[in-house]
Amino acid sequence: MTLDWPLLSLTTFLPTIGALLILSFVRGTEEEVARNSRWVALWTSIITFVLSLLIWVNFDTTSAEFQLAERWEWLPDFNIAYSLGVDGISLFFVLLSTFLTPICILSAWKAITKHVREYMIAFLILETLMVGMFLATDILLFYIFFEAVLIPMYIIIGVWGGQRRIYAAFKFFLYTLLGSVLMLVAIIYMYQIAGTTDIPTLMQTVFAENVQTWLWFAFFASFAVKVPMWPVHTWLPDAHVEAPTAGSVILAGVLLKMGGYGFLRFSIPMMPLASEQFADLVFWLSVIAVVYTSLVALVQEDMKKLIAYSSIAHMGFVTAAIFSMNEQAIAGSIIQMLSHGVVSGALFLCVGVVYDRLHTREVARYGGLVHNMPKYALFFMVFTMASVGLPGTSGFVGEFLILVGAFQMSTWLAAGLATGMVLGAAYMLYLYRRVVFGELTKDDLKQMLDLSPREVAIFVPLVAIVLWMGIYPASFLDPIEVSVNHLIQQYETAIAAAENSAAAMAAAGQ
């Protein structure tokens, strides 16, 4: 379907326009500036979300092509263009970004009191960059968005973060930098071979097998850090702990998905032979991530760290699934990423609610909140269960499809991942018990009030999505199906072609 107006660009850059509005028109006393910035940011992000829903409405679920495509020549001499498009793989990541941004802005309503204007601007810019990254169909454009996302995130952690924010921001930066440099080198190399940076063309380009290996590792270095995979995960707990609540939500909700999206968009279609060859490596790292980080999560004393470690475990499911290369596994990996985006975001918001009241994340300081915060207890329970992967919630559909897919790949892989089902239940329920259940004995806790209407308004849409994805996931599985099948077909064709040519060469050699 084609529209006669650039829906994708509009969705991408509307937040920036909002940010510019705040920058140029919001004036007055500090309080007025803060208030107006909040409202402008909220409305901008809500309108952006509505626009992104139009993408979903106009999306043709029977096609694996990039749709609603836009293309403007940028550097025509170099064959580099500004081009956007959406397919079944990127569609819901865009929606996830636009869905979480208003929630983040709303969650920071009271929590952020200094430099509110700058905070809102940072979030809106971040939204543009995230959406642009998922929509880019030019690899250079993708790279620019992909790297630029780091800047507002770095600022959000570094300015509005906790006490050790400098250490965390630095660690975050150091890890991601290394991967990024290698990826840039790989992109330049690919450009030299293919003569273009157009993603659909690059997907058709066949790179030699040894070249694929190098390219694959260069991309892997970047994406593995983002996911993050074991053992390059240690930046995440620190970044989460120091980031403000909304920063954690975006970090867990969207930024981690950039790695998974990268594997699906680049590694598998462009380097299929290397993907097949190094799948075992990914499986090992994924299973280690699931077991290792789940056990580490079990002993955490900081609520945010615990959830951060659980994120690594959940993303371990995703990376294993992506390289299992069958329909259930890949569809499952996308659903799991979406679900994790919503659920882990919601869990960080749950931590934020009590952090705003008591200003500590230490589990031991809490206990018995169910007595004076029953609404909070209910929401927290729903998200806990979704994180555990209870059937009927979003967490189940992704996890179960992944395991079905992984089982077809290897029973070892499925069994290794499935231990996460048990361990995940252990650390989440243990956390919930220590925070919410028990006697309410501490005096400062007794003062805490239950959720405000604003906070309820934040959680209700999240619960709705969690249940929708759990009970009627067809809304999400249908649009991605064709693209997923196309991806697998493309991959299998490439593998078969390589085998044929190897056989032909062997025959010729005899």
Partner 1 sequence: MTQVYFIVFLPLLAAIIAGFFGRQLGDRGAHLVTCSSIVVAAVLSWYTFLSMTLGDLEPAVVPVFTWISSGEFSLNWALNVDALTATMLIVVTTVSAVVHIYSVGYMHHDKSQPRFMAYLSFFSFSMLMLVTADNLVQMFFGWEGVGVASYLLIGFWYHKPSANAAAIKAFIVNRVGDLGFALGIFLVFVATGSVLFEDIFPAIPGLVGESYSFLGLELDMITTMCILLFIGAMGKSAQLGLHTWLPDAMEGPTPVSALIHAATMVTAGVFMVCRLSPIFEYSEFALMVVTVVGASTAFFAATVGLTQNDIKRVIAYSTCSQLGYMFFAAGVSAYQAAMFHLMTHAFFKALLFLGAGSVIHAMSDEQDMRNMGGLAGKIKLTYAFMMIGSIALMGFGVPGVFGFAGFYSKDFILEAAWAADTAVSDYALWLGIIAAFMTAFYSGRLLFMTFHGKPRCDEKTLAHVHESPLIMTGPLWILAIGAVLAGIVGYPYFVGHHMAEFWGDAILVLPAHDIFEKAHHPEFWVIATPLAAGLSGFALSFVFYVLNPALPGIVARTFKPLYAMSYNKWYFDEIFDFLFVKPAFCIGRIFWKKGDQGTIDHFGPDGVAARTRDGARLASLMQSGYVYHYAFAMLIGVVLFATWYILSGAA
Alpha-carbon span 343 to 388, nearest angstrom: 10
In angstroms, give the least distance from the CB of 61 to partner 1: 13
Smallest distance, partner 1 to C-beta of residue 303, A: 15
Q: Is residue 327 close enough to count as binding partner 1 by CB under 8 A?
A: yes
DSSP codes joined into one string, 223-291: HHHHTTPTTS-THHHHHHHHS-HHHHHHIIIIIHHHHHHHIIIIIHHHSHHHHHHTHHHHHHHHHHHHH
Contact window for partner 1 (CB under 8 A) among 34-42, 70-78, 85-93, 436-444: 436-444
474 touching partner 1, by CB under 8 A:
yes
Residue 313: name the closest of 265, 391, 252 by CA. Answer: 252
| Alpha-carbon radius of gyration of the chain | 22
Residues found in the chain = 510
Contacts to partner 1 from residues 73-132, by CB under 8 A: none
User: Interhelix angle for 327-358 vs 474-509, to 10°?
Assistant: 130
Q: Does residue 464 belong to the site contacting partner 1 (CB under 8 A)?
A: no
| CA 313 to chain centroid | 14
Interface region with partner 1, contact rule CB under 8 A, candidates 128-136, 227-235, 249-257, 458-466: 227-235
From the list 3, 211, 390, 482, which residue makes contact with partner 1 (rule: CB under 8 A)?
Answer: 390
Phi, psi of 83 (to 5 degrees): -135, 135
Sign for the pseudo-dihedral over CA of 218, 220, 226, 229: negative
The verdict on 404 binding partner 1 (CB under 8 A) reads yes
* Binder among 38, 117, 165, 171 for partner 1 (CB under 8 A): 171
Are 85 and 137 a contacting pair, CB within 8 Å?
yes
Name every residue whose Cβ is closer than 8 Å to that of residue 362 and which is 6 or more positions away in sequence.
301, 302, 303
Tell me the C-alpha distance between 192 and 196, whole Å: 8
Would you give the binding string for partner 1 spanning residues 228-267, x where CB under 8 A is met? ---xx-xx-x------------------------------
Burial of 438 (0-12, 13-18, 19+ CB in 10 A): middle
The candidate with the shortest Cα–Cα distance to 270, out of 487, 450, 101, 37, is 487
| Pairwise CA distance, residues 84 & 141, whole Å | 9
Interaction with partner 1 in 269-308: which residues (CB under 8 A)?
Answer: 292, 295-300
* Cα(437)–Cα(227) distance, integer angstroms: 33
Of the residues 75, 281, 422, 496, which one makes contact with partner 1 according to CB under 8 A: 422
Among positions 17, 193, 418, 463, the unique one binding partner 1 when judged by CB under 8 A: 418
**Among 15, 85, 102, 332, contact with partner 1 (rule: CB under 8 A):** 332
Nearest approach, Cβ of residue 63 and partner 1 (Å): 18
State which of residues 9, 61, 213, 419 lies at the interface with partner 1 (CB under 8 A).
Answer: 419
Pick from 58, 201, 360, 408: which binds partner 1 (CB under 8 A)? 408
Residue 91 beta carbon to partner 1: minimum distance, rounded to whole angstroms? 16
Can you tell me which of 60, 281, 472, 496 binds partner 1, judged by CB under 8 A?
A: 472
Count of positions on this chain that bind partner 1 (CB under 8 A) = 62
| Whole-number Å distance between alpha carbons of 288 and 477 | 28
179 contributes a contact to partner 1 by CB under 8 A: no
Instruction: Figure out which of the listed residues 148, 159, 203, 421 binds partner 1, where binding follows CB under 8 A.
Output: 421
Among 85, 247, 352, 473, binds partner 1 (CB under 8 A): 473
CA atoms within 13 A on the CB side of 51: 23
**How far apart, in whole angstroms, are the C-alpha atoms of residue 379 and residue 375?**
6
Cα–Cα distance measured from residue 400 to residue 333, given in angstroms and rounded to the nearest whole number: 10
Check residue 336 for interaction with partner 1 (CB under 8 A).
Answer: no
Interface contacts to partner 1, rule CB under 8 A: 170-171, 174-175, 231-232, 234-235, 237, 292, 295-300, 326-328, 331-332, 368, 370-371, 385, 390-392, 396-397, 400-401, 403-404, 407-408, 411-412, 414-415, 418-419, 421-423, 425-426, 429-430, 433, 436-439, 471-474, 477-478, 481, 485
